[in-house]
Amino acid sequence: MTYRFVTSVRGSLCGLIYGKTLELSVTALDESIAVTLMSTDTELICRSFVTLHEVWASPIECGVALYLLYTQLGLAFLAPMIVSIIATVAIMQLANYIGNAQKKWVRGVQTRVDVTASMLGSMKEVKMLAFSDTLADMVQNLRVKELKLSKAYRKLLCLRVLLGSSTQTIAPLATFATFVIISQSTGRPLDVPSAYTSLSLIHLLSEPMVTVIRTIPMVSSALACFDRIRKFLLSESCNDHRLPMNQGDSPVEGTSPEGSITPTEGDVAPRELQELKEENSLQPGAPLMAISNASFGWVNGEPPILDNISCTIPKSRFTFIVGNVGSGKSTLMKALLGEIKPSKGYVYTAARKIAFVSQHAWIQNLTIRQNILGVSTYDEGWYNRVVYACALEQDLAELPDKDATKAGSGGVSLSGGQKQRVALARAVYSRQKVVFLDDVFAGQDAATEEHIHQNLFAEKGLFREMGTTVVCITNAIHRLSYADHVIALDERGCILHEGTFEQLQTATDYLLGLSTKQNGSTIATGDRAEQQTAKRATAPGPSNPKDEKEPKSSTRFLGEFATYRYYFGSVPRWYPFVSAAFIILYGGALKSTELLLSFWTGHVGAAVAEQTSDNTKNSFYLGIYGMLSGLAMIGIVGAAYFFLIIMVPRSSEVLHARLLTSVMAAPLAFFSKTDVGVVTNRFSQDMSVIDTELPFAMIDFSINLTITLFAAVLMCVFSGYFAATLVPLILFCWALQKFYLKTSRQMRILDLEAKSPLFTQFLDLLQGLSNVRAFAWQAAFRERYLELLDASQRPYYLLFCVQRWLAFVLDVLVAVLATVIMILVVTLRSQFSSQFVALALLNVTSFSQFLALVIQGWTQLETSFGAVARVQEFCSATENENRPTETSPAPEHWPSRGHVALENLTASYAVGAAPVLHGVTLDIPAGTKVGICGRSGSGKSSLVACLLRMLEISSNSHIRFDGIDISTLPRQAVRAAVAVVPQHPFLLRMTSIRDNLVPRRDEQQQQQHSDGKILSVLSRLNMRDVVERMGGLDSPLDLDRLSQGQRQLLCLARAVLANKKIVLLDEANSNVDERSERLMREVIRDEFAGCTVIAIVHRLGAVTDFDRIAVIDSGRVVEWDSPKALLERDSEFKRLWDLGSS
- Three-state secondary structure call for residue 51: coil
In tens, the pLDDT along 96-115 reads 788 788 888 888 888 888 78
On the question of pLDDT at 60 being above 80, the answer is yes
- Three-state secondary structure call for residue 1013: helix
Q: What percent of the chain has pLDDT over 70?
A: 84
The residue-averaged pLDDT of 509-513 equals 52
The residue-averaged pLDDT of 768-776 equals 87
In tens, the pLDDT along 379-411 reads 999 999 999 999 888 888 877 778 888 887 677
pLDDT of amino acid 533: 32
The pair phi, psi for residue 919, each rounded to 5°, is 55, 40
3 state SS for 957-991: CEEEECCEEHHHCCHHHHHHCCEEECCCCCCCCCC
Mean per-residue pLDDT of the chain: 79
The residue-averaged pLDDT of 325-330 equals 81
CATH level 2 (architecture), domain 286-508: 3-Layer(aba) Sandwich (3.40)
pLDDT of amino acid 978: 93
pLDDT of amino acid 207: 72
CA 845 to chain centre: 47
- Three-state secondary structure call for residue 321: strand
In tens, the pLDDT along 724-748 reads 777 787 788 788 877 877 787 778 7
Neighbouring-strand partners of residue 946: none
Residue 317: Cβ within 10 Å count: 21
In tens, the pLDDT along 515-563 reads 343 333 333 333 333 333 333 333 334 344 444 444 444 444 444 678 8
How far does the chain reach from its first CA to its final CA, in angstroms? 72
pLDDT of amino acid 662: 92
More confident residue, 1142 or 37: 37
Angle of CA points 913, 919, 924, to nearest 5°? 125
pLDDT of amino acid 748: 75
pLDDT of amino acid 32: 58
pLDDT of amino acid 148: 92
pLDDT of amino acid 384: 92
pLDDT of amino acid 234: 85
More confident residue, 195 or 627: 627
More confident residue, 662 or 843: 662
Cis before 925 (ω within 30): no
Which of these, 522, 489, 519, lies nearest to 504 by C-alpha position? 489
pLDDT of amino acid 258: 40
pLDDT of amino acid 422: 92
Q: At 831, is the pLDDT very low, low, confident or very high (cuts 50, 70, 90)?
A: low
On the question of pLDDT at 1000 being above 70, the answer is no
* Cα within 13 Å of Cα(391), Cβ side: 33
Maximum mean pLDDT: which of 119-123, 293-297, 618-622: 293-297
Listed in sequence order, the residues at least 6 apart from 1132 whose beta carbon sits closer than 8 Å to its beta carbon are 1111, 1113, 1118, 1119
pLDDT of amino acid 498: 86
- For the chain, domain boundaries: 286-508, 900-987+1039-1140
**DSSP codes joined into one string, 68-97:** HHHHHHGGGGHHHHHHHHHHHHHHHHHHHH
The residue-averaged pLDDT of 66-83 equals 81
In tens, the pLDDT along 687-721 reads 888 888 888 888 888 988 898 888 878 777 666 66
Q: Determine the CATH number of domain 900-987+1039-1140.
A: 3.40.50.300
Residue 1122: Cβ within 10 Å count: 13
The residue-averaged pLDDT of 69-96 equals 80
On the question of pLDDT at 1006 being above 80, the answer is no
pLDDT of amino acid 261: 39
Q: At 412, is the pLDDT very low, low, confident or very high (cuts 50, 70, 90)?
A: low
Q: At 1036, is the pLDDT very low, low, confident or very high (cuts 50, 70, 90)?
A: confident
pLDDT of amino acid 31: 59
The Cα–Cα gap between 832 and 814 comes to: 21
Q: At 1062, is the pLDDT very low, low, confident or very high (cuts 50, 70, 90)?
A: very high
- Does 900-987+1039-1140 match 286-508 at the fold level? yes
pTM strictly above 0.85: no
Which of these, 416, 364, 540, 541, lies nearest to 122 by C-alpha position? 416
The Cα–Cα gap between 30 and 113 comes to: 13
**DSSP codes joined into one string, 726-758:** HHHHHHHHHHHHHHHHHHHHHHHHHHHHHHHHH
Contact between 365 and 677 under an 8 Å Cβ cutoff? The reply is: yes
In tens, the pLDDT along 962-993 reads 999 998 899 889 999 999 998 888 888 778 88
